[in-house]
């Protein structure tokens, strides 16, 4: 396993992050525990979750599954860099969502209880809260750090200017601020290259991409359709119809390189200088194994150029659209 620092922090994390959103709704607890054990055995030490994961009728269930896994012992907690999130609505009470100091305090304590741990390594803001001033957010975070309940703060789904706003507010307080940003980023979705990635690099944030396979569209969807092992459903049907030729070019190029399409998509992310660790959210052991396999894929300059030709990216703003 390869390891790198999370942004400008001294924290070392694996180049793959285990996403746990499927644990509970799609993967039962026993299988989830086995997947987490396998991830640790493979050297994946970075696990990501959120307080709202578990399904619409059971928010918090995923954290509980992880907590019972930690409770098995075997230094599972000590070997894991644990990231969870705050923002989402947990109940219909008015102060149990977003980033008020009150909700941060209550949500953090609730997550710690579900996770059966006394601290969170990376506490992430799941979305920007336009109604709460950053001085309030950072004050609540500083208190949590002083209490030993969190070590680092991260953001998720922020715009570039939100990162700048957060970091400048932290600077005024002589506070560390954010060390990571978690956003959707893959060969299909490259909008982050306009402003989010430049902001993250300027302020020293590690990028943690979610949906690296764009809901499976970069995971060999056409090949699987022909083999009868996958049926595309929902919004992906229209996306596949619109981009079928592009996806076929990608899958054909993966064949030329001698790798599975999903391995190429993950390897491409690992070759991007801003990326710390793509999130692999397996439902099964086989999907975890496939994610780990991508670490062995090396793409040369010609291969990276061909992928850019198939999936054109962006230059940083404003050069992308101005002189």
Least confident of 150-159, 184-193, 206-215, 237-246: 237-246
CA atoms within 13 A on the CB side of 185: 32
pTM: 0.96
- Of 156-165, 227-236, 250-259, the poorest mean pLDDT is in 227-236
- Per-residue pLDDT tens digits for 93-124: 999 999 999 999 999 999 999 999 999 999 99
Residue boundaries of the structural domains of the chain: 3-216+262-300
Average pLDDT, the chain: 96
Give me the pLDDT at residue 170, please. 98
Degrees, nearest 5: CA angle 123-124-127: 155
What values do phi and psi take at 220, rounded to 5?
85, 40
Whether residue 231 is predicted with pLDDT greater than 80 in this model: the reply is no
In this prediction, residues 305-312 reach a mean pLDDT of 98
- Residue 214, sorted as left (phi over 0), alpha (psi -120 to 50) or beta, turns out to be left
Residue with tokens 């054990």: 37
Q: How confident is the model at residue 230 (pLDDT cuts 50, 70, 90)?
A: low
Name the active-site residue from 3, 53, 58, 119: 53
Indicate if 3 belongs to the active site: no
Separation CA 321–CA 318 (nearest Å) = 6
Banded model confidence at residue 56, pLDDT cuts 50, 70, 90: confident
* DSSP three-state, residue 19: strand
Of the candidates 121, 130, 190, 195, the one whose C-alpha atom is nearest the C-alpha of residue 166 is: 130
pLDDT at 146 over 90: yes
- Sign of the C-alpha dihedral computed for residues 14, 23, 153 and 165 taken in this order: positive
- Asked if CATH classification 3.20.20.100 holds for the domain at 3-216+262-300, the reply, yes or no, is yes
Tell whether the model's pLDDT for residue 192 goes beyond 70: yes
């Amino acid at each position: 396993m390869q390891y790198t620092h999370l942004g400008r922090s001294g924290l070392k994390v694996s180049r793959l992050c285990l996403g746990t959103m499927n644990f509970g709704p799609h993967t039962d607890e026993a299988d989830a525990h086995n997947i987490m054990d396998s991830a640790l055995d493979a050297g994946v030490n970075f696990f990501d979750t959120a307080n709202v994961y578990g399904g619409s009728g059971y928010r918090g269930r995923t954290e509980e599954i992880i907590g019972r896994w930690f409770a098995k012992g075997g230094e599972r907690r000590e070997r894991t860099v644990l990231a969870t999130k705050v923002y989402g609505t947990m109940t219909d009470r008015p102060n149990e969502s977003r980033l008020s100091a009150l909700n941060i305090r209550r949500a953090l304590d609730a997550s710690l209880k579900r996770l059966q741990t006394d601290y969170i390594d990376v506490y992430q803001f799941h979305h920007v809260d336009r109604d709460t001033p950053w001085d309030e957010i950072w004050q609540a975070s500083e208190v949590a750090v002083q209490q030993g309940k969190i070590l680092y703060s991260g953001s998720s789904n922020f715009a570039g200017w939100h990162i700048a706003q957060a970091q400048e507010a932290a600077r005024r307080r002589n506070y560390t601020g954010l060390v990571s940003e978690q956003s959707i980023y893959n060969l299909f979705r490259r909008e982050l290259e306009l402003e989010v990635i430049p902001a993250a690099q300027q302020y020293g944030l590690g990028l943690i991409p979610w949906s690296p396979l764009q809901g499976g569209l970069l995971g060999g969807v056409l090949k699987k359709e022909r083999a009868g092992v996958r049926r595309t459903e929902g919004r992906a049907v229209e996306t596949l119809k619109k981009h079928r030729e592009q996806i076929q070019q990608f899958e054909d190029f993966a064949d030329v390189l001698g790798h599975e399409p999903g391995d190429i998509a993950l390897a491409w992310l690992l070759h991007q200088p801003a990326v710390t660790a793509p999130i692999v959210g397996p439902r099964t052991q086989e999907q975890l194994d496939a994610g780990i396999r991508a670490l062995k894929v090396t793409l040369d300059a010609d291969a990276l150029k061909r992928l850019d030709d198939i999936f054109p990216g962006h230059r940083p703003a404003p050069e992308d659209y101005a002189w």
